[in-house]
Structure 1
Amino acid sequence: MGLKVGDVIPKFSAKDANGNLFESQSIIGKKAVIIYFYPKDNTSQCTAQACGFRDNYTDFVNLGVEIIGISSDDVHSHQEFIRKYNLPFLLLSDSDKAIRKLFGVPSDFFGLLPGRVTYLVDQNGVIQLVFNSMRGMKHVTKMIEKLTK
């Protein structure tokens, strides 16, 4: 059973695209955050999702929300993905899938693909929305709808 609305985000750490260690408590519990898990850099739905968050990034920041993307891709892959698509937000490498397991993100397509789940977390570290869909852009739309209500 995965994390759900009302749960507090557990502490975690991972390497960012620059190879630096990111500690969740540096942001979680201090400001609102969208944490999104996605299957793989440079695939069609994952690219659409990342570019959707990029294209709306200023709006998210103006609403006081930071964005963090997480996949099992390595640091080098994230560097290229960020550079290729000019992504202004943090991507974390969860190569051992420990964070995915911590959150309880399910796999899709009979366990063949890592799931795509997005969490909207308030400034206190409490989950306000969990959205699970393999359609990348729907995640961006759902977060905008929730934040602008």
Structure 2
Amino acid sequence: MSLQIGQLAPDFELPASNGKTVRLSDFRGKNVVLYFYPKDMTPGCTTEACDFRDYHQQFADLNAVILGVSTDSIERHKKFIEKYNLPFLLLADEEHKAAEKYGVWKLKKNFGKEYMGIERSTFVIDKDGKLVKEWRKVKVKGHVEEALDYIAENLKQ
């Protein structure tokens, strides 16, 4: 299944860092910034999470929730949240089912080794559950501000 802008975003159900199981559809009525990242506690992922943390209130002011997704366990997510004081939910996609639905589970290469992993990507889903914007192969620097600007300009209340 390929994702199409303007179509309903694929729903999923994953365990969340708050101890609950959440579905994307639970957030209807709010804009959702769904970001997939490779691994907790790594430099790029930490920078991205802290950028989302630092702009969390501005997203909230735009009726937007932030959901971070990686294949890390809930236990690792909780440590990541505690260490960096992250105010949003992290979802554990240990079997990479959501990552596959969004087309971000990819063959990666690093230091000559090939392996499957998450390609850093962000999706904006409007309050009706429609996919309205995507960024793939995200470069961390300036990305969170770009996502915030997109929502501010395109998804006004």
Q: TM-score, normalised by structure 2?
A: 0.86
Structure 2: tracts of 5 or more residues without a match: none
Match of 1:83 in 2: 82
Query: Aligned ranges for residues 105-144 of structure 1 at < 5 Å?
Result: 105-107=104-106, 109-110=108-109, 112=115, 113-144=117-148
Query: Aligned ranges for residues 46-125 of structure 1 at < 5 Å?
Result: 46-107=45-106, 109-110=108-109, 112=115, 113-125=117-129
Superimposed CA distance per residue, residues 44-98 of structure 1 (whole angstroms, 9 cap, x where no aligned partner): 1100000000000000000110000000000100000000000000100000000
Cα distance in 2 for partners of 1:107, 1:79 equals 25
- Mark the CA change 1:134 to 1:115 in structure 2 (over 3 Å): closer, same or farther: same
Task: Give how far 1:128 is off.
Answer: 1.2
Aligned partner letter, 2:126: D
Answer whether contact 1:35 1:119 (CA < 8 A) is retained.
yes
Secondary structure, aligned partner of 1:148 = helix
% same residue: 34
Count of residue pairs brought into register by the alignment: 148
Structure 1: tracts of 5 or more residues without a match: none
Cα distance in 1 for partners of 2:136, 2:108 equals 13
Match of 2:22 in 1: 22
Answer whether contact 1:33 1:68 (CA < 8 A) is retained.
yes
Task: Give how far 1:5 is off.
Answer: 1.6
Answer whether contact 1:2 1:104 (CA < 8 A) is retained.
yes
Cα distance in 2 for partners of 1:13, 1:85 equals 25
Cα distance in 2 for partners of 1:39, 1:2 equals 21
Between Structure 1 and Structure 2, whose CA radius of gyration is higher? 2
Answer whether contact 2:122 2:138 (CA < 8 A) is retained.
no
Secondary structure, aligned partner of 1:141 = helix
Cα distance in 1 for partners of 2:95, 2:75 equals 15
Cα distance in 1 for partners of 2:151, 2:20 equals 30
Secondary structure, aligned partner of 1:137 = coil
Cα distance in 1 for partners of 2:142, 2:13 equals 27
Task: Give how far 1:108 is off.
Answer: 5.8
